[in-house]
Amino acid sequence: MFKGLMPAMVTPFDEQGEVDLRTTEAVVERLIDAGVDGIVALGSNGEFSHLTTDERKRFAGEVAKIAAGRVPLLIGVGASGTREAVELARHAESMGADGVLVVPPFYWEVGEEALFKHFATVAESVGIPVLLYNFPMLTGIDLSPGLIARVAGEYPNVAGLKDTVTEYSHIVNVVREVKPVRPDFVVLAGFEDQILPGLLAGSDGAISGLANIAPRLFVDLVRAFEKGDLTEAARLHRRVLSLMVLGQCSDPPIGAIKLAMNKLGVAISPTVRGPALPVPEEADEKVEGVLHEAGLLPTREVG
């Protein structure tokens, strides 16, 4: 169910910083029209950590209503405490989500036994699939392939992993260690530069934040690989790589992603919530330049 290209959807805000449900519908429809294989709401790019629990629940329900079962829907239920993660997971299930995405509990850097218990408790609390979310850059915790294999081996509804890592070898090692035990366990790259290399290593696709900007480009990359057209896949991969420069345009990259979407015709405000900073004015031209380089805006005329 959770394979191919799944955008890590942004959470639209209006100019006052309130959740913008009208724009949310437009964003979801644009992703579905692009042929995505699923949608992930309330992940890192969805600013889940900047929303209240009530806002997260309301947004999850609205996205589920808009998507209406047309594509698989994952809801992020990351929390610093196990009880809140369970509460959010049960709510997501009640709203019709197809699965939940669970990041390690952040703040305390707990050991593997505590991590196992956290994931196991969430998995036991729902009947829908659970995907683990490894993002050591933000959580300070790197899920080992051995731990992932243990959780997957003991809990059949732990169905996959989003692996947002800078070390390609981690994706390779997870594929090698987990898939022989659980062939149905999906491994999804989280960073865009790992999408094609991950697929070549035996992963199943990606959950991508930058796919909000140009979902068709990312879908085409995965489709080219699935068809065995590695020349085309490599060409599209290079275009995807050019978008990664956007990470330098705002702190964190979420504002730049929203601004890029706006420049491509999506009626979305680049507004983010603190501690994220607004996109600086000087980044406007740089964002346009990145979109030109990626072939998403018409080539600029010289002279």
In which element (H, E) is residue 202 found?
none
CA–CA gap between residue 209 and residue 226 (Å, rounded)? 21
Give me the residue label for tokens 């990626």.
Answer: 294
Task: For the chain, give the number of residues.
Answer: 303
**Is residue 107 flagged as an active site residue?**
yes
Q: Which two tokens stand for residue 25?
A: 């519908």
- Helix 82-94 and helix 53-67, axial crossing angle in degrees, nearest 10: 30
In which element (H, E) is residue 40 found?
strand 39-41
- Of 111, 130, 133, nearest to 120 (Cα)? 130
Residue from 57, 125, 133, 250 carrying the catalytic annotation: 133
Q: CB-side exposure of 154: number of CA atoms within 13 Å?
A: 12
Q: Which two tokens stand for residue 8?
A: 């890590």
CA–CA gap between residue 212 and residue 129 (Å, rounded)? 24
Amino acid at 201: A
C-alpha angle 254-260-68 in degrees, rounded to nearest 5: 75
CA–CA gap between residue 232 and residue 239 (Å, rounded)? 11
Q: Specify the 3-state DSSP secondary structure of 31.
A: helix
**Is residue 133 flagged as an active site residue?**
yes
**Is residue 250 flagged as an active site residue?**
no
Residue from 3, 162, 179, 258 carrying the catalytic annotation: 162
Residue from 3, 44, 203, 208 carrying the catalytic annotation: 44
- Cα distances (angstroms) measured from residue 30 to each of 23, 58, 74, 179, 208: 11, 21, 17, 33, 15
Tell me which residues are annotated as active site: 44, 107, 133, 162
